[in-house]
């Protein structure tokens, strides 16, 4: 539809809504304007019985800052000649022509002449006088709102509508005096709404009609608000429903607070301050909720402005609840601006949506337009001071259209949901068929692999190494487990089609359980789980399909092992009322109520993010339950989260049976039909035992699946790598500090501690180059890979691993570690061989100088100098440890030489415990002492003091070198361990720090303050 058509529709809407409002004014109780001049109104010719309500608009007498009636309700002598003022209208200029003001007090007077021959009751309705007033009829006080006064202290604001009934005097004269005061409202004050006059019946009828319309509108909006909130809470939490509920609630509240009758105050008078607060709070929140009912965020530029607008709207609404009435009035321009922006953006968003689909959104367009039409009329009504009968139909039509839109969307959604459900059902059937077909296709090659493996194992067993035999047996075990999984997939379709293949016969339960335990024993041993078969050998037989019972027992036991990290699993059986009950109890992670409800649904598994366990299709328990029920039994479960689970299934006992039928074949024959059986060896141990060969990379492998460990063991030859295998993150941390590993290879999904957590724990001590980490993951999504790198991993390999890929990555990572180690060794050797030229020249000069003045001291200096050179040039294994006496001998020689040179400028203090049993890396203290003298103490002309402390504790020793030199600021401290490619500065500290970390787990700890000195500390483990 073209834009011109939309404009035409909007024009027709304006005509329709305006015509409806005019028609309402014609049909509502009659209102009639009269002509008031010079404060007098002649109604002697009026027929009061016709039911018309007169609007007393015109010229009233106005007495500025003067009461016509005193506190004793007596007439006061008129001090000033009255002015004439237009009612309704503000009195600001009439109070003070030179400086208009809304604040002050005044009196209004109007004389009405009626036919004295008619004895009837008249009524008057005063909707709004800002912001307190009193009504006198012929000198009598009949009604008031608030408390008028000449001063602000005695004045009470209460701008509420009121009415009263009276009669004329004997001459047919009605003297109407309204005394008003205002000291709060900064707007135009005085009588600002038309005053209504008529017979008692006419005024009462109009009031009743207006109140009824307001109540009707309030009830309709409140119902919309309530059911929208209920739909939000019970439905899919669509936020637009919540905002629609808030919008209608705000409209209801605003209507009850702000319209002529102010019905809210009829039940709860909350004061003029809270009246202003709630009314304007409802306006802002309603405007915000109106905006949220649309797709306004799709607007191109508005999406950038919206956060600011949202903060302004909610902030203004919150502040409003804390302000006084005069402060709220000052914010009226802000309220108008925010409301206009919300309405404008709403219209733009609606128009944009309508342009795309005018037919589908016509009701929404008309609803929003009607709502805006209502608010425009409301603003016009407030500005002009008209006092009309409440008109609710704009809002009712708008809400009705919005409700229609909601219900239309609901019915469309319901229809779409049915269509999607049907489509999903078809896709689910196709998926099951695909899995069944795929399983059939996999079975033939799988059986071929198993047959060939068994043939090779049987034929070549005497020629194969023990390692090869163990790997072939692992292949057979994995293949048999895969056969059971494929059988589960095939059974999904056969059970769905109601085509079960049961071949019942008399069978024994005990050997079936024993056979399944043999298949799962490897998994149980790896996880430190003890499986106990408590079924007695003489337990009576049952009538069942042996293949299916194997399937049931395997699924239940496999599930128990999978979700039990440590503890025990027991299998028990008992007979009762002709049935056998088999119980499988574990001490695993257990299940909550929600999981128990959906446990037996197909493809249902525990959340891997919570259990850190993955694998399988989630079909085992569902198929097991169906198979048990096909046998006429039941499968029940009870569980407590964190305490374990118990599965119980029942089978029919065999009351009479043939002895030959009790012969049971091996479980391995059962699960791999057609495969030739061979004797199997016990499961493999969890760690390898390989003779240590020098220069082989030392690898730590972590995986909770023993099959994965054996696959890696087969891929990595023992003559090239030294392997240590553990099955949990805790075990890995336990052995992490026992050796200097070249690489850690870890699975990600492990119980108790994931590979991510293990990597983070490793990175707390080792950098990326000090100990590389390679993660194994079955997930290759970018988010999973990113999580691994963020945790601190160097690389990752997706499972199932390819031998060439993983060996290449292992070689690359171990090469990095060896390169870093070699760099440290070369740096240490360079540090050992390095003697600064200036140090050598200074020492020689000192010897020369002493030869002329002190030969004894020269000999001592020569001895210390030769001792220093001897230690420096004694090239030993820099990766090892030396006794602390050797290191301190070098330090003492160095300090003696420097002491001779600097004399009193260098002071040395030793604070040492008994350190004879300590071993430390060579050149770990001397570089610290040299650094303290060169870069700390001697930077000052007066020199300084160096303190060398050795504190020996039970488990460790603390060694520190402290000086009172120039110190360092925070920037220097942060950069002290940064390697720079263009200079060799700092190699001594960096190399010492990294060698200490390799040996003791912690490096150098440096504290320094600019101008106060530096303290360097490291810790050594005691022997």
Token pair for residue 720? 């090239």
- The per-residue pLDDT for 284 is 92
Enumerate residues 6+ apart whose C-beta is below 8 A from 1022.
Answer: 917, 918, 952, 953, 954, 955, 956, 957
Place of tokens 């540090």: 831
Which whole number is the average pLDDT over 634-648?
88
Q: Single out the residue of 110, 93, 124, 91 nearest to residue 35, CA to CA.
A: 110
Written as one string, the DSSP assignment of 885-904 is: HHHHHHHHHHHHHHHHHHGG
118 or 72, which is more confident:
118
Q: Single out the residue of 523, 991, 449 nearest to residue 751, CA to CA.
A: 523
Examine the pLDDT at 710 and tell me if it is beyond 50.
yes
Examine the pLDDT at 148 and tell me if it is beyond 90.
yes
Enumerate residues 6+ apart whose C-beta is below 8 A from 140.
Answer: 73, 166
Which whole number is the average pLDDT over 784-801?
80
Reported as type and span, the H/E element at residue 134 is strand 132-137
- The per-residue pLDDT for 521 is 65
Residue 831 near residue 991, CB atoms below 8 Å: yes
Examine the pLDDT at 754 and tell me if it is beyond 90.
no
Q: Any idea of the CA torsion for 377, 378, 380, 382, to the nearest 10 degrees?
A: 160
* Cis amide leading into 800 (omega within 30): yes
- The per-residue pLDDT for 942 is 84
Highest-confidence range of 317-331, 358-372, 500-514, 616-630, by mean pLDDT?
Answer: 317-331
Examine the pLDDT at 111 and tell me if it is beyond 50.
yes
Examine the pLDDT at 675 and tell me if it is beyond 60.
no
Which whole number is the average pLDDT over 187-196?
88
Residue 751 near residue 781, CB atoms below 8 Å: no
In order of 27, 517, 558, the CA distances from 481 in angstroms are 86, 12, 10
Examine the pLDDT at 701 and tell me if it is beyond 90.
yes
For residue range 587-626, list pLDDT tens digits in order.
888 888 878 877 777 655 555 444 444 444 456 788 788 8
Give the Cα separation of 154 and 148 in Å (integer). 8
Residue 129 near residue 176, CB atoms below 8 Å: no
Written as one string, the DSSP assignment of 408-440 is: HHHHHHHHHHHHHHHHHHHHHHHHHHHHHHHHH
- The per-residue pLDDT for 765 is 80
Which whole number is the average pLDDT over 176-192?
90
848 or 739, which is more confident:
739
Q: From the centroid of its chain, how far is CA 274?
A: 37
Give the Cα separation of 334 and 483 in Å (integer). 74
- The per-residue pLDDT for 650 is 93
What pLDDT band is residue 1017 in, cutting at 50, 70 and 90? very high
Place of tokens 């006084």: 324
Lowest-confidence segment of 14-23, 67-76, 187-196 by average pLDDT = 14-23
Enumerate residues 6+ apart whose C-beta is below 8 A from 599.
Answer: 591, 621, 637
Highest-confidence range of 428-437, 522-531, 916-925, by mean pLDDT?
Answer: 916-925
Proportion of the chain in helix, strand, coil states, percent, rounded to 5: 50, 20, 30
Residue 25 near residue 49, CB atoms below 8 Å: no
Token pair for residue 1013? 């000195």
Residue 388 near residue 31, CB atoms below 8 Å: yes
What pLDDT band is residue 895 in, cutting at 50, 70 and 90? confident
List the beta bridge partners of residue 1008.
1014
3-class SS of residue 563: coil
- The per-residue pLDDT for 1004 is 87
Angle at 263 between CA 261 and CA 268, to 5 degrees: 135
What pLDDT band is residue 21 in, cutting at 50, 70 and 90? low
List the beta bridge partners of residue 41.
112
- The per-residue pLDDT for 657 is 46
Residue 964 near residue 940, CB atoms below 8 Å: no
Residue 681 carries which DSSP code?
P
- The per-residue pLDDT for 133 is 93
Written as one string, the DSSP assignment of 57-70 is: -EEEEEEET--SB-
Residue 299 near residue 247, CB atoms below 8 Å: no
Q: Packing angle between helix 884-902 and helix 855-872, nearest 10 degrees?
A: 140
> What mean pLDDT, rounded, does the chain reach?
78
Q: Single out the residue of 113, 116, 118 nearest to residue 43, CA to CA.
A: 113
Q: Any idea of the CA torsion for 305, 311, 314, 316, to the nearest 10 degrees?
A: -100
- The per-residue pLDDT for 664 is 36
- The per-residue pLDDT for 281 is 92
Give the Cα separation of 951 and 912 in Å (integer). 6
Written as one string, the DSSP assignment of 805-820 is: HHHHHHHHHHHHHHHH
In order of 294, 332, 337, the CA distances from 287 in angstroms are 12, 14, 11
Examine the pLDDT at 838 and tell me if it is beyond 50.
yes
Place of tokens 């994995």: 478
List the beta bridge partners of residue 63.
107
In order of 904, 941, 967, 976, the CA distances from 1011 in angstroms are 20, 13, 5, 17
361 or 795, which is more confident:
795
Torsions phi, psi for 105 (to 5 deg): -140, 160
What pLDDT band is residue 852 in, cutting at 50, 70 and 90? low
Which whole number is the average pLDDT over 109-135?
90
- The per-residue pLDDT for 649 is 92
What pLDDT band is residue 687 in, cutting at 50, 70 and 90? very low
3-class SS of residue 678: coil
- The per-residue pLDDT for 937 is 85
Q: What is the 3-state secondary structure (H, E, C) of 293-328?
A: CCCHHHCCCHHHHHHHHHHHHHHHHHHHCCCCHHHH
Which whole number is the average pLDDT over 866-887?
65
Lowest-confidence segment of 22-36, 533-547, 556-570 by average pLDDT = 22-36
Examine the pLDDT at 358 and tell me if it is beyond 80.
no
Which whole number is the average pLDDT over 111-136?
90
Torsions phi, psi for 298 (to 5 deg): -80, -10
| Percent over 90 (pLDDT), the chain | 13
Residue 574 carries which DSSP code?
E
Biggest CA–CA distance in the chain, Å, is 149
Q: How many residues does the chain have?
A: 1023
Give the Cα separation of 918 and 999 in Å (integer). 13
Alpha-helical regions (H) of 631-687: 667-671
CB atoms within 10 A of CB 743: 24
> 515: exposed, middle or buried (C-beta count within 10 Å: 0-12, 13-18, 19+)?
buried
Residue 436 near residue 490, CB atoms below 8 Å: yes
Examine the pLDDT at 298 and tell me if it is beyond 70.
yes
Give the Cα separation of 809 and 795 in Å (integer). 8
- The per-residue pLDDT for 128 is 86
**Segments of 653-708 assigned E as strands:** 698-702
Examine the pLDDT at 829 and tell me if it is beyond 60.
no
Give the Cα separation of 596 and 610 in Å (integer). 16
Examine the pLDDT at 3 and tell me if it is beyond 60.
no
- The per-residue pLDDT for 582 is 92
In order of 42, 93, 156, 191, the CA distances from 38 in angstroms are 11, 18, 31, 17
Give the Cα separation of 747 and 636 in Å (integer). 34
Q: Single out the residue of 778, 708, 776, 782 nearest to residue 747, CA to CA.
A: 776
Examine the pLDDT at 124 and tell me if it is beyond 90.
yes
Alpha-helical regions (H) of 140-294: 200-234, 239-258, 264-267, 271-292
3-class SS of residue 976: coil
What pLDDT band is residue 144 in, cutting at 50, 70 and 90? very high
Reported as type and span, the H/E element at residue 517 is helix 509-526
Give the Cα separation of 927 and 930 in Å (integer). 5
For residue range 934-979, list pLDDT tens digits in order.
888 888 888 888 899 888 887 788 889 999 888 888 888 877 777 6
Residue 521 near residue 557, CB atoms below 8 Å: no
849 or 597, which is more confident:
597
Examine the pLDDT at 448 and tell me if it is beyond 60.
yes
Which whole number is the average pLDDT over 243-247?
88
For residue range 497-548, list pLDDT tens digits in order.
665 667 788 888 887 887 677 667 666 666 678 888 888 878 899 999 887 8
574 or 381, which is more confident:
574
State the number of CA atoms in the 13 A half-sphere of 158 facing the CB: 17
3-class SS of residue 746: strand
Enumerate residues 6+ apart whose C-beta is below 8 A from 906.
Answer: 898, 899, 933, 937, 938, 943, 944, 946
Which whole number is the average pLDDT over 678-694?
35
- The per-residue pLDDT for 454 is 77
């Amino acid at each position: 539809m073209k834009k011109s058509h939309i404009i035409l529709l909007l024009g027709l809407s304006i005509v329709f809504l305006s015509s409806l409002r005019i028609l309402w004014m014609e049909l509502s109780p009659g209102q009639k304007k009269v002509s008031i001049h010079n404060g007098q109104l002649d109604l002697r010719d009026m027929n009061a019985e016709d039911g018309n309500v007169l609007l007393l608009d015109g010229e009233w007498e106005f007495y500025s800052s003067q009461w016509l009636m005193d506190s004793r309700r007596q007439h006061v002598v008129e001090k000033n000649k009255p002015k004439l003022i237009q009612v309704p209208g503000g009195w600001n200029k009439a109070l003070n022509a030179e400086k208009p003001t809304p604040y002050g007090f005044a009196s209004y007077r109007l004389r009405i002449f009626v036919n004295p021959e008619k004895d009837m009751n008249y009524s008057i309705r005063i909707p709004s006088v800002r912001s307190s007033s009193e009504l006198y009829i012929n000198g009598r006080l009949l009604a008031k709102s608030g408390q008028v006064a000449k001063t602000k202290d005695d004045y009470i604001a209460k701008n509420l509508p009121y009415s009263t009934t009276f009669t004329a005097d004997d001459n047919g004269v009605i003297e109407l005096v309204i005394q008003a005061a205002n000291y709060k409202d900064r707007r135009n004050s005085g009588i600002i709404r038309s005053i209504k006059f008529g017979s008692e019946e006419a005024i009462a009828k109009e009031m009743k009609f207006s109140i009824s319309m307001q109540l009707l509108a309030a009830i309709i909006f409140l119902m919309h608000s309530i059911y929208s909130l209920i739909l939000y809470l019970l439905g899919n939490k669509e936020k637009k429903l919540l905002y629609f509920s808030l919008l209608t609630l705000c409209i209801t509240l605003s209507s009850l607070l702000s319209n002529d009758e102010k019905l809210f105050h009829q039940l709860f008078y909350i004061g003029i301050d809270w009246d202003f607060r709630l009314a304007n709070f409802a306006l802002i929140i309603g405007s915000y909720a109106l905006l949220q009912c649309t797709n306004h965020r799709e607007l191109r530029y508005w999406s950038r402005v919206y956060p600011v607008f949202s903060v302004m709207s909610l902030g203004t609404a919150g502040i409003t609840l804390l302000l006084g009435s005069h402060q709220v009035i000052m914010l009226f321009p802000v309220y108008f601006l925010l409301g206009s922006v919300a309405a404008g953006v709403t219209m733009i968003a609606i128009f944009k949506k309508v342009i795309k689909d005018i037919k589908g959104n016509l009701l929404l367009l008309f609803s929003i337009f009607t709502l805006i039409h209502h608010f425009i009329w409301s603003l016009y009504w407030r500005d002009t001071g008209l006092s009309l009968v409440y008109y609710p139909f704009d809002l009712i039509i708008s809400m009705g259209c919005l409700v229609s839109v909601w219900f239309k969307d609901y019915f469309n959604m319901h229809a779409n949901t049915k269509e999607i459900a049907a489509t999903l059902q078809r896709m689910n059937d196709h998926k099951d068929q695909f899995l069944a077909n795929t399983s059939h296709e996999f079975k033939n090659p799988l059986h071929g692999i198993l047959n060939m493996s068994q043939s090779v194992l049987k034929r070549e067993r005497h020629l194969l190494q023990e390692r090869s035999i163990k790997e072939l047996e692992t292949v057979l075990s994995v293949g048999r487990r895969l056969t059971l999984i494929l059988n589960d997939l095939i059974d999904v379709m056969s059970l769905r089609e109601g085509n079960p293949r049961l071949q019942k016969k008399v069978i024994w339960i005990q050997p079936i359980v024993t056979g399944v335990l043999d298949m799962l024993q490897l998994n149980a041993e790896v996880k430190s789980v003890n499986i106990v078969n408590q079924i007695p050998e003489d337990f009576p037989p049952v009538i069942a399909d042996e293949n299916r019972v194997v399937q049931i027992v395997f699924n239940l036991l496999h599930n128990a092992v999978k979700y039990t990290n440590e503890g025990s699993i027991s299998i028990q059986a008992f007979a009762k009322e002709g049935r056998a009950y088999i119980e499988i109890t574990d001490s695993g992670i257990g299940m909550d109520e929600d999981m128990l409800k959906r446990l037996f649904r197909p493809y249902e598994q525990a959340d891997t993010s919570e259990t850190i366990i993955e694998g399988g299709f989630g079909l085992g328990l569902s198929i097991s339950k169906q198979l048990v029920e096909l046998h006429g039994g039941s499968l029940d479960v009870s569980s407590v989260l964190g305490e374990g689970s118990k599965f119980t299934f029942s089978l029919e006992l065999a009351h009479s049976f043939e002895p030959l039928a009790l012969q049971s074949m091996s479980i391995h024959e059962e699960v791999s039909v057609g495969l030739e059986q061979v004797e199997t060896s016990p499961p493999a141990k969890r760690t390898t035992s390989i003779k240590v060969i020098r220069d082989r990379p030392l690898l730590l492998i972590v995986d909770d699946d023993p099959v994965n460990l054996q696959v890696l063991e087969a891929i990595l030859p023992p003559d090239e790598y030294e392997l240590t295998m553990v099955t949990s993150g805790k075990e890995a941390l336990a052995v992490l500090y026992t050796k200097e590993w070249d690489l850690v290879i870890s699975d990600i999904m492990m119980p108790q501690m994931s590979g991510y957590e293990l990597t983070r724990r490793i990175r707390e001590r080792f950098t990326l180059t000090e100990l590389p980490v390679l993660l194994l993951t079955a997930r290759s999504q970018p988010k999973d890979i990113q999580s691994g790198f963020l945790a601190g991993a160097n690389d990752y390999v997706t499972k199932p691993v390819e031998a060439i890929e993983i060996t290449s990555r292992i070689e690359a990572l171990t090469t990095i570690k060896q390169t870093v180690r070699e760099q440290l060794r070369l740096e240490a050797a360079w540090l050992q061989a390095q003697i600064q030229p200036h140090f050598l020249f200074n020492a020689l000069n000192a010897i020369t100088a002493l030869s002329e003045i002190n030969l004894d001291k020269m000999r001592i200096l020569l001895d210390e100098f030769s001792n220093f050179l001897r230690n420096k040039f004694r090239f030993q294994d820099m990766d090892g440890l030396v006794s602390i006496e050797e290191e301190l001998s070098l330090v003492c020689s160095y300090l003696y030489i420097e002491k001779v040179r600097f004399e009193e400028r260098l002071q040395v203090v030793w604070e040492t415990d008994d350190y004879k049993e300590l071993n430390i890396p060579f050149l770990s203290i001397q570089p610290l002492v040299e650094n303290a003298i060169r870069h700390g103490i001697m930077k000052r002309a007066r020199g300084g003091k160096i303190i060398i402390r050795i504190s020996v504790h039970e488990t460790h020793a603390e060694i520190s070198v402290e000086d009172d030199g120039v110190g360092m600021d925070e920037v220097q401290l942060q950069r002290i361990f940064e390697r720079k490619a263009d200079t060799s500065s700092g190699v001594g500290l960096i190399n010492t720090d990294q060698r200490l970390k390799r040996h003791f787990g912690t490096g150098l700890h440096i504290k320094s303050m600019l101008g106060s000195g530096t303290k360097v500390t490291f810790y050594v483990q005691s022997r």
